[in-house]
Structure 1
Amino acid sequence: MLGHQLKAEFKRVATWRQFTIWMLLILVIPTIQFLLIKDNYVFYRHLDLFLRLNSNFIPLLFPIIMVLVNTIHFVGEQKNYFIQYTRIRIPLSTYLFSKLLTNAVLSFSIAFLITFIPFVFSMYIEPYLGIVKLYPTEGNPIPYTTFEQLLFLGTLPYGIIYSLWVGLNGMMYATIALLALMILEKSFIALSIPFMYYLLANFITQALGFDKFSPSNTIFPFSISQQPLWTVFVPFTILCIAVIILGLYLKENMNKRYE
C-alpha cells in the first residue's frame, strides 16, 4: 500500500507549475548569481567561481527554498480537509509517511542539483567558454574552505560529496517544516520554524564567536576559513534530533490531530 501511495504522491506533484518552480530554483537563481559576480570578483581558481555561486541568495534563504520545493503544498490539503477524507481509504500513518518520504526525496534532489549543476558548470563548462578571467595568485594566499579537504579524492568526488551534503541538509529542513505542519494548526508558524531556527542559530553562534558551528557556515562554508570536517556535523546532529522528536510526537498524536 505504501508503494502505491508513493506513486500517487509523486504523480500529484509532477505538475508543470511545480516543474517551473524547480527549474527556477535549479537554473535561474544560479544564473542570476553568475551574472552578478562574473565581473565583480577576483578568481584564482575555477573552484573559487563555484564557491561564489553558492553564496548570497542560497545560503541566506536556504530553509525557505527547501519549503518551496514541495512542503508548502501540504497547507492546501489541510485547509480543504483533504486528509480527513483520505484516511477513510488508507491508514493515516501510511498517508502521512508517504508525504514525508516524497518531500524528503524531492527536497534532497533539488538541494543536490542546486549545488551540483553550478559545480559542473564552474569546473567543466566555464573553462571552455572562458567567460570568467582567472588571475595569478602572485603570492596572495588562497582562502581554502571547509570540504576542500576532500579534493585529494579528485575534483568530481569533491563536488559529488559536497552536493550530497547540501542535499541532506536541505532534506532535513524540509522534513522539519512538514512535520511541524502536520503537528501544528497554524501553518505560517509551522513553515517559519526552520527559517527562524536558521536565523537565530546563525546569530547566536556568531555572537558567541562560534561561527564554525553556525548552520549557514557548515552548509555553505565559503565566508569562513577552513575548519575540521567534524564541525559540520554539530548543527546537523541538532537537525536530526529535531526530526526524531517531531516524528515521535506526530506518531503519538496524529489521530488526535486529524480526528
Structure 2
Amino acid sequence: MLGHQIKVELNRILNGKQIIKWLLLIFVFPTIQFFLIKDNYVFYRQLDLFLRLNSNFVPLLFPILVVLVYTTEFVGEQKNNFIQYTRIRIPLSTYLLSKLTTNAILSFIIAFFITFIPFVFAMYIEPFLGIVKLYPTEGNPIPYTTFEQLLFLGNLPYGIIYSLWVGLNGMMYATMALLLLMILEKPFIALSIPFIYYLMTNYITQALGYDQFSPSYTIFPFSIAQQPMWTVFIPFSILFIILVILGFYLKETMYIRYE
C-alpha cells in the first residue's frame, strides 16, 4: 500500500511545471555565481572553482531551496481539506508517510544535483572551455577544506560523496519543514522554522567560537579551514534527533489533528 501510494505521488508531481522549477533550482544560482566570480578570484585548481560555485547563494538559502522542491505542494492540500477526502480510501498514516517519503526522495535528488552539476562543470567541462584562468601557486598556500580528505579516492568519488552529503542534509531540512507543516498546519511558520533554525544555529556556533559545528560550514565548508571529518556529524546528529522527536509527536497526534 505504501509503495503504491509513493508511486502515485511521484507520478502526480512529475509534470512539466515541477521539472522546470527543479531545473531553475539546480542551475540558476550556480550560473549567477559563476559569472560573478570567474574574473574576480584567483584559482589555483579546478576544484577551487567548484568551491566558489557553491558559496554565497546556495549556502545562505539552502533550507529555502530544498523546501521549494516539494514541501510547498502540501500547503494547497491542507487549505483545500484534501486530506479529509483521501482518508476515505487511504489510511491516514500511509498517506502522510507517502508524502514524507516523496518529499525526502525529491529533496535529496535536487540537493544532490545542486552540488553535483557545478562539480561536473568545474572539473570536466570548464577545462575544455578555458573560461577561467588557473594560476601557479608560486608558494602561496592552498586553502584545503573539509571533505578534501576524500580526494585520495579521486576527483569523481570526492564529488559524488560530497554531493550525497549535501543531498542528505537537504532531505533532512525538507523533512523538518514538512513535519512541522503537518503538525502546526500554519504554512508560514512551519516553512520558516527550518530557515530560522539554520540561521540561528549558524550565528550561535560562530558567536561562541565553534564555527566548525556551524550547519552552513559543515554542509558547505568552503569558508573555513579544513576540519576533522567527524565535526560535520555533530549538527547533522542534532537535526536528526529533532526529526525523530517531530516524527513521534506527529504519530501520536495525527488522528486527533486530522479529525
Which bracket does the TM-score occupy, shorter chain normalised? over 0.9
**What's the offset of the Cα at 1:30?**
1.1
Structure 2 counterpart of 1:129: 129
How far, CA to CA, are the matches of 2:83 and 2:35 in structure 1? 44
**2:28 & 2:208 partners in 1: Cα distance?**
36
Residue of structure 1 equivalent to 2:167:
167
Counterpart position of 1:105: 105
Query: In the alignment, what sits opposite 2:236?
Result: 236
Matches within 5 A, 1:33-72: 33-72=33-72
**Separation in 2 of the partners of 1:212 and 1:4?**
42
SS in 2 for 1:193: helix
Q: Any idea what the Cα deviations from partners look like across 1:157-213, whole Å, max 9, x if unmatched?
A: 100000000000000000000000000021111111100100000000000000000
Matched to 1:116, the amino acid is: F
For 2:254, the equivalent position in structure 1 comes to 254
1:176 is matched with 176
Aligned-pair CA distance for 1:16 = 1.6
SS in 2 for 1:71: coil
Asked if 1:245 corresponds to 2:245, the answer is yes
Deviations 1:132-153 (CA, angstroms, capped at 9, x unpaired):
0001111110000000000011
Partner amino acid for 1:92? L
1:4 matched to 2:4: yes
Partner of 1:150: 150
Partner of 1:217: 217
Letter in 1 for 2:139: G
1:177-196 matches, cutoff 5 A:
177-196=177-196
- In structure 2, C-alpha distance between the alignment counterparts of 1:27 and 1:59, rounded to whole Å: 15
- Stretch moving more, 158-167 or 184-193: 184-193
Instruction: Report what 1:73 is aligned to.
Output: 73
TM-score, normalization by structure 2: 0.99
TM-score, normalized by length of structure 1?
Answer: 0.99
Which residue type is aligned with residue 113 of structure 1? F
Amino acid at match of 2:54: N
Q: 1:28 deviation in Å?
A: 2.0
Q: Count residues in correspondence.
A: 259
Look up the SS of the partner of 2:77 in the other structure: helix
Match of 1:119 in 2: 119
**What is the identity, as a one-letter code, of the residue corresponding to 2:12?**
R
How far off is 1:40 after superposition? 0.8
Matched, 1:31 2:31: yes
**Percentage identity across paired residues of the two chains:** 79
Structure 2 unaligned regions, length at least 5: none
Deviation readout 1:19-67 (Å, 9 max, x if unpaired): 1110001122211111111111110000000000000000000000010
